[in-house]
Each structure stands twice: as structure tokens, then as C-alpha cells.
Amino acid sequence: MGRGGACGVASLFLAVAAAACCAAAAQEPNTDAYFVARFYAKMGLAAPPSGAGAVCSWPGVSCDGEGRVLALAAAGMGLSGPIPEDTVGKLARLRSLDLSANRLTALPNDLWELGASLQSLNLSRNAIRGALPNNVGNFARLQVLDVSHNAFSGALPPALGSIAGLQVLNASHNQFQGQVPGAGGSLVSMDLSGNALDGDLPDLSPLRSLAYLNLSGNQLRGSIIGAFQEQLGVIDLSNNRFSRLNFSSGYSGTSLMYLDLSSNELLGEFGLPGRFRNLRHMNLAFNQLSTNNLLASIGEISSLEYVNLSSTGLHERIPGALSSRLVGLHVLDLSQDSSLVESRLL
């Protein structure tokens, strides 16, 4: 017993020493150094120079005090093809993985084993195809997920809603279909623009920290009332098929600085009075809003810098006092015919 224990300690010591001593030599199997070396080799990255020391000093690698890999960054390295099994997915303490801006085409099955540790995953600007599996819900500690600018398709996984600490979700510029998923209550930024999402907005009221919402360039329908949450600073719902515009009576929009509802099918009255005290950018172009008294009431929002009411069905004279009240206004677009780009620069 005693001898066996001593032997185990000795071989563990040897394994650590081997991993630490010769980076370029064959790595002790099933160590972090082995999995990183295998990733480098399989992706055609230059092997770490011989004598470079432990895996922790290799390019893009950072470690904890025990020499275990915490972060791996290989953005813009020209990596192509599928991410191999038994590489990054086996780095059991990995917190941050950045493989953005390459030409990767598929995820390994063992990626989802990283669940216990991963906090940030950036796969943006690759060519990854197929579904984003519901296994993403394994990443219980995930805070940042950027899968933007890929070729993902199918539904956004419902399990995204179960990741309680997720703060940044960027799935823009893919071919995701189906509904906007519910999301965990910590979300600060949600960018799902440039996909093929349809259906109604989900209930966003549980997202008490959401400050940035971009759903531009989808096929979303119905009412936009759900998007007007008090704490939001940026709302971009442009280029969809929303048809109903309405505010809950208590909504003041005091945090809102940027609002783009352009190119929807919105009908009805846009009720500004008393709202949007800090709004700078307002684009309502290409809708069928009845904007009676809108110009008079925007005069009360002295923070406005950009107002675009092009092709909204506006029938109103420009109040003479407008430009003296909106001293910060740079752009006022009131052109009513898309062939007539008559933007007024004040």
C-alpha cells in the first residue's frame, strides 16, 4: 500500500516534470499540454519552439498557478476545417476560448464537456454550419457567447435561457430560424440581427439588465410592446415585419438613447409625449405610422441628434421653432418618397 502510494506520487511528479520541460517533445498523454499540442498540430499551427517551456508560455495560452490551461486564443490564425476531437474540448479548466476570425467549419462533440468551467466562447467570423446544439446549456457558467458571422441554421437552442449568468449573446449574421429564445436574467446585450427568425417577440421583462437589443433584419411579427423595457438604452428592430406599436402606460423610456424601428409594417400613432427624454437617434422610416403632432412633440426631446421620418405618411408642417429647440439635431429626414432622397441637414 505504502509503496504503491509513493510510486503514484513519483509518477505524477514525473508527468508534471515531463509536461513542463520539453514543449516540442511528445507530450505526456492526457495532459493540457498534450491537448494543446495536438490542437496546434491538427490545425497546422507552428509547433511551439523547442525549449519553449511549459504549455503556459505557448502563444495564446494562459494558465492558473498549477499550470492548467485557463484560456486559449487563436483568433485570425487562418485555421480551417472542423475543430478536432480530443483537443480544446478536453481542457478541463478552460474558462475562455477564442477561435474567432478563422475558417472553422464544425464543432467537436467533446466541446460540450467543457461545461464546468467555460465562461467565454468566441467562435465569431468562421464558417460553422449546422445547428447550435442544445448542449450549449451545459455551459452553466457561460457569460459571453459570440457565434456571430457563421452559417449556423435551425432554431436557437432553448437551453440558452437556462444559462443564468449569460451577459452577452451575439448570434448575429447566421441563418437561425424559428423564434427568439427566452434568455437568462443576466443578459446585458442580445444581438440576433441578420438571421431568419420569425414569430412574435418573447417576454423580455425577466431580462432586467438588458441594455442593448438588436433584432434587425429578421422576419419578426406582431406587437413591439415587449421590447420597450425601461432599462434598455438601444433598441434596433429595423427590417422586420412588426405591425403593432404600443407602449405600456407606465413606460417612460428614460434610458433609451437609440431607437430604430425603420422598415417594418407599423401602423398607428406614435405617442411620444412625456417619453424618451434622453433619445438621440430615432429612425421610424418606412412604416405607415400616423405621425400627427409628432414633429411638435419631438421638439420636447432636446437630446435628439438624428430623426428619420422618411416615408412614414407624415402630413405635418415643420414647426418653425423646431430647429431652435433641437440644438443638437444633425439629421432630419422627412422625405416622403423613397426615390427622392431629400434629407435635410440642419
Ligand X SMILES: *[C@@H]1O[C@H](CO)[C@@H](O)[C@H](O)[C@H]1NC(C)=O
Q: Which residues here bind ligand X, judged by CB under 6 A?
A: 75, 100-101, 122, 124-125, 144, 146, 148-149, 168, 170, 172, 189, 191, 193-194, 212, 214, 216-217, 234, 236, 244, 246, 248-249, 258, 262-263, 283, 285-286, 308, 310, 331, 333, 343
| Smaller CB separation from ligand X, 31 or 126 | 126
Least distance (Å) from ligand X to the CB of residue 310?
Answer: 5
- Going by the DSSP 8-state scheme, the letter that residue 87 receives in this structure is S
Count how many Cα atoms sit within 13 Å of the Cα of residue 51 in the half-sphere of its side chain: 0
Buried b (16+ CB within 10 A) or exposed e, 6-32: eeeeeeeeeebeebeebbeeebeeebb
Q: Are 88 and 77 in contact (CB under 8 A)?
A: no
Output the nine-digit C-alpha cell for 172: 448575429
Task: Kindly tell me which of 33 and 190 has the beta carbon lying closer to ligand X.
Answer: 190
Least Å distance, CB 311 to ligand X, is 8
Choose among 315, 321, 323: nearest CA to 293. 315
d(CA 182, CA 23): 45
Closest residue to ligand X using C-beta atoms: 170
In degrees and rounded to multiples of 5, residue 223 shows phi and psi of: -95, 145
- Per-residue b or e along 124-149, where b marks 16 or more CB atoms closer than 10 Å to that residue's CB: bbbebeeebeeebbbbebbbbbbbbb
Nearest Cα to 138, choosing from 100, 174, 104, 111? Answer: 111
CB of 295 to ligand X, least distance (A): 16
